Each structure stands twice: as structure tokens, then as C-alpha cells.
Amino acid sequence: MGGVSINVNKSDVLVIGSGLGGLYCALNLSSKYNVTILTKTSRDKNNSCLAQGGVAASFHKAAHYKDTISAGVNYNKEEAVKVLVEDSLENINKLIDYGTNFEKDELGNFKLTREGGHSKNNILYFKDSTGKEIISSLIKEVDIRKNITIIEGVFAIDILNNDNGIVGILAINQRGEREVYLTKAIVLATGGIGQVYENTTNSSYATGDGIAMAFRAGAEIKDMEFVQFHPTAFYKDTIGQKFLISEAVRGEGGILKNANGDNFMKNYSTMGDLAPRDIVSQSIFKEMLRTNSSFVYLDISHKSSRFVEDRFPMIYETCLQEGYDITKDMIPVAPAEHYLMGGIKTDTEGRTNIYGLYACGECACTGVHGANRLASNSLLECIVYGNRVSKSIDKYIGERNFIDSNKLNDYKLLLEFKECRAWDAEEIQTEIKRVMSMNVSVVRSYMGLEDAYKRLLDLEGKINKQKEYTSSIKHIETINMFTVAILITKAALDRKRSLGAHYLVG
């Protein structure tokens, strides 16, 4: 291969990402297949672990369907929503079988809570760390499966594919060595894009890698303009990852108040504090502007101290460390980037337009969420569609064979790393975040979007746009962030009217 030494590995199914979508998909694949899960960090460093509120459970199917469509502003793909609702309890029961705990009352019945956009209490939860509880139980299950291997510290760079579909991926390991993973099926479960913005509830690893990889490989990307900003991230006058104050706080009676102490949500929606996230975030933005403040307050101090401490132990302790006793004090909050409704276009089996390439979880666009995601549908989508991906692969994989390793010479341009022109990845990342936060945020204008697009294109002169890479993951993540930022901004420019999370003014 042109004198380049590359380690070649083989696996029947390759899952990129160790969050809920990836783990659940791997667990539901037939045990006769060798499955490798690659994660660029460690197995427990993912957005799924950060999920606090809970998982929508469809105990009230008609209401759940209607609420999902309503929150999505009727832009949802109806077939995808029907699948989500109908397959919900089957997969919830699997989580329980894998050892996941959900809160129960003294009689052993599940406790159900409510969050924004829901008309009924329909959400299972575990304290205020539901995601961490689920991931912990799934990792234990993965570890006892002889056919599943998790490899940490491997960064997937690009998908190798030809006219017959996927072949494998190019990656870098922790030692900076290039590797190829040959496979019969690839599942992208790489999570979100939060690091494209200055303030996000996402982990520092959420750089949109899967979407950028899929785009470069020729996969269809859809609805990138719909970026959800969570209304209640803990406010600090610094840029970076924000601590999420769960929507369940409002579900349990928390009240949003402006800088003057007024409950303002009743002025914006008949659902008040439990309106869908796009409406709440946009309303908070307006109130901050009207009162000349950088944040609003979330108040749950009217509930008993014991209830608050028992129901939200992590939020209570974290806020206490920041100087706020939430049993007595109001919590300063402001919107922060939280979730992408768009992504890699898939059908209801998680298939993309590239043969053998699947996607599930936040990086995928199934059409379930429409223009705005209903609270607690993210974890549910991961398990419902992670399971459907596994069933589809089980049917498909028998038709596939590994490519002959000798044919990897056909991918010489991808496999030979060349020195990039010198450019400052940190500087470019900072500029991407600044541009997106200023012009492609909660509230947008056409003029601002045009300016953002121009400024992003100006960065191309500093970025090597050839498929040539150094062994610097930071450089590759920057290229991925740039790609995602361009996709979001271009999609926002193309949508001329407000819809859901895409809110235009002026």
C-alpha cells in the first residue's frame, strides 16, 4: 500500500459510538456475529450518560403520538412516530431485563413524571441520572457477551465505500497509528454536535464526527437547521459545557421567572412552563432581551426540601457547589445547545442511502422529532431504532463478504496521511463556535445567516480540504465541526420561514 504500514482488523459489524444507540444495537444483534464497538474516548464518556430526565414510555400511546407530532410542529414523519410509539414498551422491557432500574412507589408500581410538551405523565426515570443508570446496566451486559468487543481510544476518520456499499473505516488509535477496520455493516451512533456552539449541554467530545463522515461518504443529510436549545442550562458567565437542569424540575412544579421575579411563560403558551422546548427557549430569549438580563430563574423552592433533595440529588449537589441551595434559592438558567433533530437520513430500519451503512441515535434523522424534539424521546429513539437497525442487519449481513485486503490499495488517497498545511485548530474551533452562537442560535435572521455562511467559508482558506490528514485528532475534529457548521447554516438559509427550532426574525 504505497509503503504505508496500516493495521487491518475485521469485524462482522462495526458500531461507532458507545452511547445508548450503539450499545443497545450491539446487544440486539445475533450472537453469531462478531461485533466491535469503537469509541474515541472511554465507554462511559457520551451524551447518553448526561441524560437526566427520563425515557418516554408510551403508557399512553395516543397521547404520546399526538404530543410528539405537536412538539415537532407537524413536520414529523408520521410512520417513524408510529414506530416509536408502538415499539416503545417492548424495548423498555428489554432495558429492565438488562438490569436498568426505574423509580417505583411503595407498591412496586413505576413512578411516571412529566416534562415539556407532554399532556400526560408518561416518563420513566431514575432519580435525575436516568441516562447514567441505563448506560451502566448496558455496559455490564455488553461485558458478558463473548461476541461484542468495545475498543476505547479509537477515532474513526472516514468511511471506506465503493459502488457496492461500505467496506470499512479508516481510524487512528491512541498511539497515533493508522488502522483500517473492514466490516460488512457500519452503524454510526456518534451522538451530537454540541461543540459547534460556545455553550452546550453536550460533552466535549460531541463534534459531529459521524455526520461529517457520512456526508463525505455520500450519505444524505437532512434537516440540519433544526438545532434544539435546552431552555434551562445552569447559567455561568463563562463559555463551555453547561450543566443541565432537567426538564423534570419543571415537570415536578418548577416555575420559570424573569429578572423581575415574574412568571412569564403563561404569557407565551397555554401550556405555561411545560410548553415544548423551542417555545420555552424562544420565550426565555425574549424575556432576557426585554429585561436586559443574561439569564432567567427556575424556582422549585416552594416544594419541600426533602422532596427536592430526594428527587434531584445530582442537581441539588451540583447547584450547592455553585453556591445555590435550590430548596431555598432560585436557579439561574439560560438556553444552551442541546440536541440536533436533523442528521444522517435513514428509513425506519436505520438504513441510509449507502448500502451497509446504518445510523441511530442523535446523529440519525429518522423523522421522529420533526422540527423540535419532544422531551425524553431521545433515549426512546435510541433503543427503538437501535433495535430496528440490529434486525435489519441480521437480515442483510448474510449477503455480504469482507473486501479482499489487497484491494485496499484502491483507497490509497485515504490511507496515506500527508502533512496538512499548518493551521491553528484551536483558533478555528473558537471562530466556528463564535459564528454559530452569534448568528445560528435560538433566534436567527436571514442577514445574520448570510453573514455566518460567509464567515465560515472564509475559514476554508485555513483548512486543508483534501482528504489528507495528520495524526492530530484535534485537526480532524475541527474539519468535522466545520463541515457540520456549514451544513447547519446552509440548511437554515434554505428554509425561508420559521418552523419549530428554526426561528427567524427580521
**388-412 tens-digit pLDDT:** 999 999 999 988 888 877 777 666 5
Per-residue burial over 412-424, b if 16 or more Cβ lie within 10 Å, else e, is eebbbbeebeeee
Looking at 358, 384, 406, the residue that finishes a domain is 406
Tell me the backbone φ, ψ of residue 238, rounded to 5 degrees: -140, 160
**Nearest Cα to Cα of residue 18 among 2, 35, 41, 50:** 41
**Residue 505 included in any domain:** no
Helix 377-396 / helix 20-28 crossing angle, nearest 10 deg: 40
Residues 260 and 118 in one domain: no
Say which CATH number the domain at 388 has.
3.50.50.60
Q: Give the model's pLDDT for residue 441.
A: 97
Candidate from 65-69, 125-129, 333-337, 442-446 with smallest mean pLDDT: 125-129
Q: Give the model's pLDDT for residue 2.
A: 44
Residue whose grid cell is 465507554 = 43
**SS3 of 335, please?**
strand
Average pLDDT, the chain: 92
* Spatial distance between the Cα atoms of 133 and 126, rounded to a whole number of angstroms: 7
Those residues whose C-beta lies under 8 Å from the C-beta of residue 104, and which sit 6 or more positions away, are: 110, 111
Catalytic residue among 43, 114, 250, 277: 277
Residues 208 and 265 in one domain: no
Residues 85 and 65 in one domain: yes
Residues 295 and 422 in one domain: no
Candidate from 335-339, 454-458, 470-474 with smallest mean pLDDT: 470-474
**Nearest Cα to Cα of residue 200 among 212, 192, 211:** 192
In which domain, by residue range, is 466 found?
Answer: 418-494
* Spatial distance between the Cα atoms of 23 and 150, rounded to a whole number of angstroms: 9
Q: Give the model's pLDDT for residue 176.
A: 82
**Residue 412 included in any domain:** no
**Residue 503 included in any domain:** no
Residues 219 and 317 in one domain: no
Q: Give the model's pLDDT for residue 374.
A: 96
Looking at 386, 406, 426, the residue that finishes a domain is 406
* Spatial distance between the Cα atoms of 343 and 257, rounded to a whole number of angstroms: 34
- Concerning whether 175 is annotated as a catalytic residue, the answer is no
Give the neighbor-by-neighbor strand order of the sheet with 221-222: 221-222, 343-345, 364-365
Count of beta carbons in the 10 Å neighbourhood of residue 203? 20
Query: How confident is the model over 341-351, as pLDDT tens digits?
Result: 999 999 999 99
* Spatial distance between the Cα atoms of 425 and 195, rounded to a whole number of angstroms: 13
Q: Are 284 and 334 in contact (CB under 8 A)?
A: yes
Q: Give the model's pLDDT for residue 410.
A: 64
**Residue 125 included in any domain:** yes
For residue 235, what is the enclosing H or E element?
none
Residues 352 and 468 in one domain: no
- Is residue 414 over pLDDT 60? no
Q: Model confidence at 22, in pLDDT bands (50, 70, 90)? A: very high
* Spatial distance between the Cα atoms of 474 and 477, rounded to a whole number of angstroms: 5
Query: How confident is the model over 84-117, as pLDDT tens digits?
Result: 999 999 999 999 999 999 999 999 999 999 999 9
DSSP for 96-154, written as a single string: HHTT----B-TTSPBP-B--TT-SS--EE--TT-HHHHHHHHHHHHHHT-TTEEEEES-
**Residue 463 included in any domain:** yes
Query: How confident is the model over 353-370, as pLDDT tens digits?
Result: 999 999 999 999 999 999
**Residue 198 included in any domain:** yes
* pTM listed for this prediction: 0.95
Q: Give the model's pLDDT for residue 44.
A: 77
**SS3 of 55, please?**
strand
Residues 390 and 429 in one domain: no
Residues 36 and 140 in one domain: yes
Q: Give the model's pLDDT for residue 360.
A: 98
Sign of CA dihedral 45, 48, 53, 59: negative
**Residue 1 included in any domain:** no
Say which CATH number the domain at 275 has.
3.90.700.10
Query: How confident is the model over 427-462, as pLDDT tens digits?
Result: 999 999 999 999 999 999 999 999 999 999 999 877
- Is residue 468 over pLDDT 70? no
DSSP for 139-206, written as a single string: HHHHHT-TTEEEEES-EEEEEEEETTEEEEEEEE-TTS-EEEEEEEEEEE-----GGGSSEESS-TT-
Residues 165 and 194 in one domain: yes
**SS3 of 20, please?**
helix
> Is the pLDDT higher at 414 or at 208?
208
Looking at 304, 336, 368, the residue that finishes a domain is 336
Q: Are 53 and 338 in contact (CB under 8 A)?
A: no
Residues 171 and 35 in one domain: yes
Residue whose grid cell is 455496559 = 139
Residues 53 and 74 in one domain: yes
Number of domains in the chain: 3
Residues 173 and 215 in one domain: yes
Q: Are 117 and 125 in contact (CB under 8 A)?
A: no
Tell me the backbone φ, ψ of residue 494, rounded to 5 degrees: -75, -25
**Residue 106 included in any domain:** yes
Say which CATH number the domain at 449 has.
1.20.58.100
Q: How far is CA 254 from the centre of its chain?
A: 25
Count of beta carbons in the 10 Å neighbourhood of residue 115? 26
